[in-house]
Chains A and B, each alone.
Chain A
């Protein structure tokens, strides 16, 4: 046991940062002082934006004061980190203050970079932030039919199933509003299939065909012309639209670029098993902030957090760390008509998604509602790392 509490600083109060902070405080008690640094002090439940855009939910249940989600002994500093000094073990804050750490956890997420694609901010709608989702909801209410295009303006992006989910659900929305006959729905995919994961694409494509949703492949968005209502791809295709919905390009936090810790996109080079950043034995990263070739999603952060908490606790106690991250992710995928499927996979096992059914749709809704009382606090029993669901454990 260390006589002086270890100072653990967590940058970012999203799902990953909050869960790491709570797990560390729970396991180390007075042997550690955990401080979460977050510029807004608010915690957003981003999977809900999809439902806001489609008018199925309001935004008020999607944001909570971060303080209410942290254990009492964990400090919260509502501050923006502007520079990390790994050798001096400090973080410089926007206010001019500096915070010292013995262990640093980087959970700074991803930034949406609308401005990186010419015309995107003016010509396209989106659902990757609450204001964007609310604007899209209003635009959908005004929409009277026409060509509706859904696409991705850069990889990597958060929640890989979301554009497919939106496409399926907006097709249902148009049917219910009596506008389907007057509309064409197209998914613009940057790949030669609907989705990054092949098994999920194979499941989705027949459903898209059945529902008359067009799949345009190898369409990497290059430019939007808001006045001509056209979107052009890097591959040289141009398409006209009445309503364009795009996922904006993503980048890691600016502080990672400014501190020479991130790559060109600001993504942190993390070890895929230990989640350690580069050669820094006391710096870890998780969630959207890393450069790991795995989904950027709350689920990823959720399964990574216990690994980091356990490894830091081991280092502080002077024991050998044993936990490692196996790449576990679990995502729901809404397919519309009140049905959903689930993608459960890890580094070694691709997902074997079940046929969409009402059960998974209900499970997603229950999870959405239960999130606030379970995930940030580490109350879900299955967050323990190393356990695999039956379907993929071969």
Chain B
């Protein structure tokens, strides 16, 4: 995804669990429907926590990419 389409980018690398997920939840609270939000996380727990929360909360996990020592999640606020 082109980063210019992002409503918000959160660089949570180095932040321990549950920081990355909580930062995403905060961004979803503040965002509007249709916004795409990027989260960069080096926390291993995010690989399960973020997709699980996105599914439970009814949003869309657009993309998960593994990079050098971190994961990039792109989420669309669906409701």
Contacts and interface: CB of A to CB of B under 8 A. Distances in A.
A190 interface: yes
Contacts of B16: 293
A101 to B, nearest CB: 32
B19 A218 contact: no
A198 B17 contact: yes
Interface stretch (B1-9, B20-28, B32-40, B68-76): B20-28
A192 B52 contact: yes
Interface size class of A (residues with CB under 8 A): 10 to 19
A218 B18 contact: no
B54 to A, nearest CB: 10
Report the contact-size class of chain B (Cβ under 8 Å from the partner): 10 to 19
Contacts of A35: none
A154 B21 CA distance: 13
Contact of A190 (B25, B52, B58): B25
B21 A236 contact: no
Q: Which DSSP category, helix, strand, loop or mixed, fits chain B's interface?
A: helix
A202 interface: no
Given A191-B49, A192-B49, A235-B57, A220 B17 contact: no
B63 to A, nearest CB: 21
Determine the main DSSP class of A at the interface with B.
Answer: loop
Interface string A178-199: 0000000000001110001010
Contact of B52 (A156, A196, A218): A218
B62 interface: no
B56 A191 contact: no
B61 to A, nearest CB: 15
Nearest to B30: A264
A220 B19 contact: no
A217 B15 CA distance: 22
B48 to A, nearest CB: 8
Contacts of A217: 56
Contacts of A363: none
A234 interface: yes
Nearest to A155: B22
Nearest to A191: B18
A191 B45 CA distance: 12
Given A218-B57, A293-B19, A234 B52 contact: no
Contacts of B18: 155, 190-191, 196
Interface string A150-185: 000001100000000000000000000000000000
A293 B18 CA distance: 9
B28 A218 contact: no
Interface centre among B18, B52, B79 (most CB of A within 10 A): B18
Contact of A196 (B17, B25, B28, B79): B17
Given A192-B49, A293-B16, 11 more contacts: A192-B52, A192-B53, A196-B18, A198-B45, A218-B53, A234-B25, A234-B28, A234-B57, A235-B53, A235-B56, A235-B58
26 contacts: A155-B18, A155-B22, A190-B22, A190-B25, A191-B21, A192-B49, A192-B52, A192-B53, A196-B17, A196-B18, A198-B17, A198-B45, A217-B56, A218-B52, A218-B53, A218-B57, A220-B25, A234-B25, A234-B28, A235-B53, A235-B57, A235-B58, A236-B58, A236-B79, A293-B15, A293-B16
